[in-house]
Amino acid sequence: MLNHKNIIITGAGRGIGREIAKKLSAEGATLALIARTGSELKETLEIIRPRNTNTFYLIADISDEKEVINSFNYIIGRMGKIDCLINNAGIQPPIGVFYDIKLEDWKKNLNVNLFGTVNYTYAVINKMIEQRKGKIVNLSGGGSTSPRPNFSAYGVSKTAIVRFTETLAEEVKQYNVDVNAIAPGAINTKMLEEVLDANKSAGREFDDAIKRKKEGGTDPNIAADLICFLCSDMSDGITGKLISAPWDDWKNKDFQEMLKTNKDFGTLRRIDDKTFFKK
């Protein structure tokens, strides 16, 4: 599906980022892997490089605009074109009720999750406009569609990413650049361990985390499959949407057509009688 595609993945050192990298590489893509920890990036590269010797990694903090610009300049110099950007990197803390956490930790979350996504998108977008073609996939979920008590910073950042996705999609639609967000599901990653470590500060999610630890979470390959589809030419015309990897029937052609034709389908909207409950 992705032969001759050049793709940037942030947060590619571990967890869902690594699974995404493995899937996209298996589909023929050449990857630029971004994360803060070199040892983890090296492990990811060793797993996938036998499939594509042109794949490489760069150490960068996506919340630092200068590091993003420097890394992107290197990538574009090496790859020449960028077909897809996957904004996967993110952090979960602080965990706890808003009035008990440190405000500096709350702001740090938005600096990584929201502004990290914005930074890399800003670096890439003009190149895609110049090419008249591109795909951007942002990782959302985690409280973006409903309140998530004790995880206010994470929920706010992921909700903001959805609205950023919708707005940018409208601005660049004329240049054949598709921008979407996905909710990957409750995947067992380092974030699950953070919930367990937080104990009762995590509220009702602590008991859910114990159960998930025993029974297993959502298969990360489900999200990787959706991202592969959204990076491919098969998804052309689907833009400005939030799609749930485990819950939405996104492989269904009728569902895909709804995403293309119904402006409110797969978006964040206020429910009211005028728009959604027509008599």
Residues known to be catalytic: 154
Q: Which residues pair with 34 in a beta bridge?
A: 10, 58
Neighbouring C-beta atoms of residue 77, cutoff 10 Å: 8
Task: Pull the structure tokens for residue 181.
Answer: 């967000």
Cα torsion 243, 30, 186, 229: sign: positive
Q: How far, in Å, CA of 75 to CA of 92, rounded?
A: 28
Q: Which residues pair with 95 in a beta bridge?
A: none
Q: How far, in Å, CA of 95 to CA of 154, rounded?
A: 9
Percent helix, strand and coil across the chain, each rounded to 5? 50, 15, 35
Among candidate residues 254, 253, 231, the one with its CA nearest the CA of residue 26: 231
Burial class of residue 105, CB neighbours in 10 A (0-12, 13-18, 19+):
middle
